[in-house]
Structure 1
Amino acid sequence: MTDGPEDSRPANERRAAAREKARQLRTTQQRKDRRNRAFLQGGIVVGVLAIVAVVAVIIVTAIRPSVPGPANMASDGIVIGTGLKAHETKPLAADASPIPSTPDPSGSVVTIRVYVDYLCSLCGDFQRTNADQLEPLIKDGAVTVEVHPIAVLTSHSAGTRYSLRAANAAACVANYAPNSFWKFNNSLFAKQPEEGGPGLTDAQLKSRAASAGAGHTSSIGSCIDDGTYKSWVTRASDLALTGPIPDSNVKKLTIAPLVLVNGKSYTGSLRSASDFKAFVLQAQGDSYSSTSTPSPSPSAG
């Protein structure tokens, strides 16, 4: 018994049919090969284009042109004085060196400078602890507080770069609504995001700016959305990290917050309002002693 009917065609016809079948199989395989090569090449092209796009973004970011600094921050910080109003300064030209603020020559006004990262929990501790006792002193002109927003924890916010965005927002407020800066600065620490989390969104930053009285200008919203002063923040942060810190004996920023009172670094508890008050009073006394006119020595008789 056979497996099936034998092909009764002549041998030459069977060979011709076999050759035709082989030709069809080769044609089919060649088409598959061409299609696979096309898919592969297309995938490579897409991959290359994706890589090129990423590289382009990196290059554009890296060579993003510097912009003029924000108004009222010629020292890389904003000085808040009598009535909680900002000392006004003109914007610095792009890449211009900051101009340190001039301390009160009489020694009667205590100058406090604070370098803060808005994601830094210790910075928040200091501000929440001391804001209430500092505010009336600033209003009355007894002290000035100069806030330097920096971004040293940019990589600690789940990829959102919150430190950089928050410092940029602070610069936007300083530029467009400087007299709202003190309240806005406090608001960023009042309900401070935790380090490692995503931080506030740009929409939330704009909302806090509006609540601080800076919502009357749409320019602040655009400034926050566009990240107008991000390159300035990065440069200011780098200058603080490399030092030296002007009008002090601090070689460079090594910890945040850096708190300077009349140029002297505060190393006490960041959670003790009484410790900081004592340090301020001591600095005030030291300044008064150093600027007061010495009594004339009695003449020899």
Structure 2
Amino acid sequence: MTIGGSGDGSPAKNRRRDAARVKAKQLRVSQKKKDRRNKVFLQGGIAIAAVAIVVLVSVIIMNSIKPAGPGPKNMASDGALIGEGMVTTLTPALQPDANPRPSKPDTTGAVANIRVYVDYLCPLCGDFEDANNKQIAQWVDSGAATVEIHPVAILTSKSAGTKYSLRAANATACVANYSPDDFFAFSSALFVDQPKETSPGRSDDEIKTVLRKSGVSTALSDINACIEDGTYESWVTAATNRALDGPIPNSSMESIIGTPTILVNGKPYTGSLEDPKEFASFVQVALGETYSTSTPTPDPTPGG
């Protein structure tokens, strides 16, 4: 008699085998459903994450782009005009959609109108400043000349990512707005120990140190906040573009092509930047000549 052979097909074993097959099939079906759910959840999670990233990037971009606002007071010509006694001419703020209001030059031949476009990271601007700042200050203080300083930010990308040119020009605009008669002193101080081109330049805190050392004391907290917030950076960018695009009012120049750009009674100075005697001679000659206005002065749009 053979007991328990491989061909044993008792009803009990068959039932257990069938039950196991059914259970296995149920498990396979359940696992497939679970896999499908996980796939849907994964795809949905990726989509949600992608949307979140897009929103985050958009917020960062929007926060980094300052909307165009009014320019600083006392720079309606895109520059600060300093006259006798080192007093800055007061003007209303330039509205975002308004054209600059060119300063009215003295055409009598009695006063030299000096205009300088400067970038505070520009080494050649530093050379001109070192050689000529003292005599220009003397001429202006005595009433023999006016000087109009136009801060521009051509070298914004040349400071290891810190945008020093833009931030320094913004700082001068802050001073013009809150303490205009300190503009010349602060602008001059930014050229003392001038940062090298391609260096990071000064931090905002270091700019504020220059501010204090230059003697600015009026509305110091407002100016510091203006520097930190970059209040006039959009205006600096617009003013820079206007200078590069032209025309340059009250002059024979179509546009500036670099810094420093120096004009005396509308005539560009192309002599040595480091020879104060040569520049003084040019000023004297320009005083005796007809004021150069070959380029028409644009009609100003009311700036509010």
TM norm structure 2: 0.81
Q: CA RMSD in A?
A: 2.8
| Residue 170 of structure 1, CA deviation | 0.8
Amino acid at match of 1:244: P
Deviations 1:166-185 (A, max 9, x none): 21111110010111111111
Deviations 1:3-42 (A, max 9, x none): xxx9x99355345436535654664575466446534533
Report the CA distance shift for 1:144/1:56 in structure 2 as closer, same or farther (over 3 A). same
The higher-RCO structure (CA 8 Å, 6+ apart) is: 2
| Maintained 8 Å contact 1:173/1:220 | yes
Match of 2:300 in 1: none
| Maintained 8 Å contact 1:151/1:234 | yes
Amino acid at match of 1:141: G
* Residue 46 of structure 1 pairs with residue 39 of structure 2: no
Report the CA distance shift for 1:63/1:197 in structure 2 as closer, same or farther (over 3 A). closer
* Residue 144 of structure 1 pairs with residue 146 of structure 2: yes
Report the CA distance shift for 1:194/1:31 in structure 2 as closer, same or farther (over 3 A). farther
* Residue 284 of structure 1 pairs with residue 284 of structure 2: no
Match of 1:130 in 2: 132
Match of 1:106 in 2: 108
Match of 1:266 in 2: 269
| Maintained 8 Å contact 1:210/1:216 | no
Deviations 1:105-155 (A, max 9, x none): 321211110111222222222212221222222221222111001122222
Alpha-carbon distance in 1 for matches of 2:186, 2:149: 12
| Maintained 8 Å contact 2:208/2:224 | yes
Give the unaligned 5+ runs of structure 1. 1-5, 289-301
Match of 2:240 in 1: 237
Segment of structure 1 superposing worse, 254-263 or 35-44:
35-44
Alpha-carbon distance in 2 for matches of 1:47, 1:161: 31
Match of 1:296 in 2: none
| Maintained 8 Å contact 1:184/1:212 | yes
- Kindly tell me the number of residue pairs found equivalent between the two proteins: 281
Report the CA distance shift for 1:31/1:250 in structure 2 as closer, same or farther (over 3 A). same
Match of 2:165 in 1: 163
Alpha-carbon distance in 2 for matches of 1:55, 1:133: 51
| Maintained 8 Å contact 2:66/2:234 | no
Amino acid at match of 2:157: S
Give the unaligned 5+ runs of structure 2. 1-5, 292-304
| Maintained 8 Å contact 2:178/2:218 | no
Amino acid at match of 2:250: D
Alpha-carbon distance in 2 for matches of 1:21, 1:101: 91
